Structure 1
């Protein structure tokens, strides 16, 4: 039986194995009863890693085989951390194109929003992950006109200074006058 975190700055062994991309250890821990939905406990109030699941950790680091195993064994890909970030948004934010494609293939909503109302494609655009933006477009992510109240990919690419992504989106007829929830446009 695998214990849950015991102290104020603990991760379970499964969290560490997911972080280390140790698929064999992840499998062993699962076979021993590790909780796939266990959440980390932050070391400090400023710790960004607030109540992350092993799947979210795998998504952050692009550990595809670990994520595949966790989902196969029942990990919930729709389970957000305390910051409201689902695994798909985390993977897009870090530019893990294969992870993004896998999560969408397994049923993650391609236009899922994080807590700040950024869709995955906007997070990838903001951080300059051209390949990830292109993959999300291929998977059907909305980029032409953002949903009301969300942050559009074109504005995020412009804000991040990513000319290649701005060109990609404009070549695909993104609305240059699109405004976000605060009324700001890419120009």
Structure 2
């Protein structure tokens, strides 16, 4: 998995739609394509629940396992807790760099979240982003400049232009989950 990820981990799908035990704990699978468009598994996890805290922990462990290499694009099953965990990661980095501007309830934070989640149109995003920079007169803009360059990975309106290798959904993970159902049952017992 580590070798495959180092070679083919630019685009990853992650899905948790399959429970493998009696308690139906979520079984998460990180998958992608090889250079021959074959399915490859980059990692798996049996989670306790599908809460933001669990996903945050999982994504951090995944990065540790793969020497900190982040995928260029990641597809998820749009689970609200997972989306929350990913957005919280960006917010935590913002707090480190912008401190009080990213304080919960601040007007800057509201504008930033609007840029992140609400615009379908790139022109609206750009205008709002420029107005935000001008309005809040941020002295050290290095983090904002860096994150702006990566807007294709977090701004809703730009994600449609991202590098995907033709993957458009979590279908890879979902098809693997279907295959797993043929081989794993909730009553499997280790001998």
Larger Rg computed on CA atoms: 2
Higher relative contact order (CA 8 A, sep 6+): 2
TM-score, normalised to structure 1, is: 0.26
The structure with the largest strand share of the pair is: 2
TM-score, normalised to structure 2, is: 0.26
The structure with the largest helix share of the pair is: 2
